[in-house]
Each structure stands twice: as structure tokens, then as C-alpha cells.
């Protein structure tokens, strides 16, 4: 099946694009980055690597371009998107960063950290980006390719992870093409993303900062409230119980494979494929999604996963694994 046919055959629950389009693979050199910036300026969709996962980018001020993100992903609802900017100065144009939020941004950015702050009045962002809320999630990524793209474009880029809604986030350009080929204009191919897990999301809206999503950055704020559990109306799709799902059923904390299972190992549990033979959480985080994509590609139907220590980055890994194992809607 070609990527174009695949785009046509997506499940009926997702919104179909009008017609499959050619998805170009652009090299992550000056010419490729320039081309990607032109596509963004023209209101197109470009997937690009960040240090966490590939994002599906559009001009955050262009409502039609942002709407195409939802269409391409088959996202069921208009959830708010992270706005990527080149630096704190640019962030100031879209959000209000004062007091502890400003100090934190100055200390950590560029980083795999998204900050939810009050939306600046007259920001010019499409209301689709913020889902009509008066807050905005902003991020200055650390990835050199992402930063070069943001500077070349010179504006805010809305970018959720570049995968069909509810599926595993992409950590390579091939993952992006397998999921969204035929639905987006281009993917900037910068090779595998180093961190491999989405950014940590921290809210700076109330009295004290709140952890909204575990992620690639392990927070060190002493007064951090934890609000990562799904609410009635989840703020973040990453908070939905069944998210980041591979095709296989998933059993956690497995020290050995039961008959018919494919075992994903860690440390002493060797498995059929190991997230990190040496038990290194950073390595396991960066391998996690590629391993799940690999299981999909191998046609694994029953997946077991070795125990991962629930500390540091292990907390974000376990969060994603629990969601992968959750009953599917």
C-alpha cells in the first residue's frame, strides 16, 4: 500500500482530507528549512523534529492552517495546541510571563518544557490554538533544527505531535510519513529525536505552578502541584486514559513473556527487544515510541512490558505505558 492509498483508507471516524496530497520529505539543511518556512507562510502543514517528538506545525495566527492540523490528525475535538516560539522575546508576544513564570522561563528555556500562561490580549493567535481559552501553552524547543525553522519563519508555530489522533507519537520522519503521509505538505527529516517523549507541561495560572503532564523534563520546582490526572473535561489529550496506543494489547510490569506475548525488556529483563539493556531511563525514554512503532510494524498483537522504576524520567515513561495499556474507547 502506498502512503497515498493509506491516507484514503483511514478509519471512518476521522475527518477525511479532501484529497490525498503529496507529502514531501525535506532535508534538514538551510534549503530544506527555508522551504519548510515558506510552506508555513503559505498556510501549509509541515512536520518538523524537536528534541522531544516530531511536531505537526502550522502558522498559529492562521485559523485555516490550524484547522488543517485537526483535519490531518483526525482529532475528535478542538483541544488546545502548544505554540512554539524561537525565544522568550517572541513568547512575550503571545503569553503573559511574569513573576515565577518569567524566572522559570529564563532559567530553563530552550527546553522540553511547555508553559501554560495567561493569553496576551491582542496576541493575534487563532482561537483554535487555545480552544477559546484565555491561556496559552508556549514552548521554546532546544532542538537546533526546530529553532532554525522558527527563526526562518519568524512567527509562532502551533504544533501537536505529528501522529494520527490517539496513536503513538513519531520520533522519526518515517513514523510521520506512515501516519500522516498524503495528509500534510512536508516533513523536515532531522533523523531520530533525541529525547523521545513529549515535553513536560507546567501551568503558571494559579497561586503555585502545576504539573499538567509528565514529560522529557524532570521538574525541580519545590512548590509544584500535581494535576496530571484526567478531569471530566480533560485540558490535554495527553491526559485521556487511552492515549499513545500501539495496535497491540499491553500488559505492564511483566518479568517474563506469557505464551504468545512479545516482551519489551528493560535492564535485567532482556525481552524480545529492550528499551535499555543497561537500565538507563534516558535511553529507555528515547527508545520508547520507536519500540512501540516497531511492535506495530511487526504485527505484535500482545505486548508485555518489563517494570520501569517510577522515578525521574521513569515517571513519564510509566505514565505513557499506563495510557498505552488502558482500555480502548
Task: Please tell me whether residue 137 binds ligand TXA under the rule CB under 6 A.
Answer: yes
Which span (14-22, 197-205, 284-292, 309-317) binds ligand TXA, by CB under 6 A? 197-205
State which of positions 204-243 bind ligand TXA (CB under 6 A): 212, 235-238
Residue 275 touches which member of ligand TXA, Mg ion, none, C-beta under 5-8 Å by kind: none
Smallest distance from ligand TXA to CB 227, Å: 10
Which three three-digit cell numbers place residue 7? 491516507
Smallest distance from ligand TXA to CB 130, Å: 6
State which of positions 97-136 bind ligand TXA (CB under 6 A): 114, 116, 130, 133, 135-136
Which three three-digit cell numbers place residue 248? 497491540
Residue 116 touches which member of Mg ion, ligand TXA, none, C-beta under 5-8 Å by kind: ligand TXA
C-alpha 317/C-alpha 276 separation (Å) is 12
Q: Based on CB atoms, which residue is closest to Mg ion, 44 or 238?
A: 238
CA atoms within 13 A on the CB side of 112: 26
Q: Based on CB atoms, which residue is closest to Mg ion, 123 or 161?
A: 161
C-alpha 315/C-alpha 254 separation (Å) is 17
C-alpha 296/C-alpha 29 separation (Å) is 31
Residue 53 touches which member of Mg ion, ligand TXA, none, C-beta under 5-8 Å by kind: ligand TXA
Residue 247: name the closest of 299, 200, 208, 201 by CA. Answer: 299
C-alpha 108/C-alpha 23 separation (Å) is 34
- CA 164 from chain center: how many Å? 11
Among 161, 171, 276, 286, binds Mg ion (CB under 5 A): 161
Residue 329: name the closest of 216, 215, 214, 234 by CA. Answer: 234
Task: Kindly provide the b/e burial profile for residues 220-245, where b requires at least 16 CB atoms within 10 angstroms of the residue's own CB.
Answer: eeeeeeebbeeeeeebbbbbbeebbb
C-alpha 94/C-alpha 192 separation (Å) is 30
Residue 236 touches which member of ligand TXA, Mg ion, none, C-beta under 5-8 Å by kind: ligand TXA
Which span (6-14, 124-132, 160-168, 287-295) binds Mg ion, by CB under 5 A? 160-168
Q: Which residues bind ligand TXA (CB under 6 A)?
A: 50, 52-53, 55, 79-82, 114, 116, 130, 133, 135-137, 139, 159-161, 198-199, 201, 212, 235-238
Amino acid at each position: 500500500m502506498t502512503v497515498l492509498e493509506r491516507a484514503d483508507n483511514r478509519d471512518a471516524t476521522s475527518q477525511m482530507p479532501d484529497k490525498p496530497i503529496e507529502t514531501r520529505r525535506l532535508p534538514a539543511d538551510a534549503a530544506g528549512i527555508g522551504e519548510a518556512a515558506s510552506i508555513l507562510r503559505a498556510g501549509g502543514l509541515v512536520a518538523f523534529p524537536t528534541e522531544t517528538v516530531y511536531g505537526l506545525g502550522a502558522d498559529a495566527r492562521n485559523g485555516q492552517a490550524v484547522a488543517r492540523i485537526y483535519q490531518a490528525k483526525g482529532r475528535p475535538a478542538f483541544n488546545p495546541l502548544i505554540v512554539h516560539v524561537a525565544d522568550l522575546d517572541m513568547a512575550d508576544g503571545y503569553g503573559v510571563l511574569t513573576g515565577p513564570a518569567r524566572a522559570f522561563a529564563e532559567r530553563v528555556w530552550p527546553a522540553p518544557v511547555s508553559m501554560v500562561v495567561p493569553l496576551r490580549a491582542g496576541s493575534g493567535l487563532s482561537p483554535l490554538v487555545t480552544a477559546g481559552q484565555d491561556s496559552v501553552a508556549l514552548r521554546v524547543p532546544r532542538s537546533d533544527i526546530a529553532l532554525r525553522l522558527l527563526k526562518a519563519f519568524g512567527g509562532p508555530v502551533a504544533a501537536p505531535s505529528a501522529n494520527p489522533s490517539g496513536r503513538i507519537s513519531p520520533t522519526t520522519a518515517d513514523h510521520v510519513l506512515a501516519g500522516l503521509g498524503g495528509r500534510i505538505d512536508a516533513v523536515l527529516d532531522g533523523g531520530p529525536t533525541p529525547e523521545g517523549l513529549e515535553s513536560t507541561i507546567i501551568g503558571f495560572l494559579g497561586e503555585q505552578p502545576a504539573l499538567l503532564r509528565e514529560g522529557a523534563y524532570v521538574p525541580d520546582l519545590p512548590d509544584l502541584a500535581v494535576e496530571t490526572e484526567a478531569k471530566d473535561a480533560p485540558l490535554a489529550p495527553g491526559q485521556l486514559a487511552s492515549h499513545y496506543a500501539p495496535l497491540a494489547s499491553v500488559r505492564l510490569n511483566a518479568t517474563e513473556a506469557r505464551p504468545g506475548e512479545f516482551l519489551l525488556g528493560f535492564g535485567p529483563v532482556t525481552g524480545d527487544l529492550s528499551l535499555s539493556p543497561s537500565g538507563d531511563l534516558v535511553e529507555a525514554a528515547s527508545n520508547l515510541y520507536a519500540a512501540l512503532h516497531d511492535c506495530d510494524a511487526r504485527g505484535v498483537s500482545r505486548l508485555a512490558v518489563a517494570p520501569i522504576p517510577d522515578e525521574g524520567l521513569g515517571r513519564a515513561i510509566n505514565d505513557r505505558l499506563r495510557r498505552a495499556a488502558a482500555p480502548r474507547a
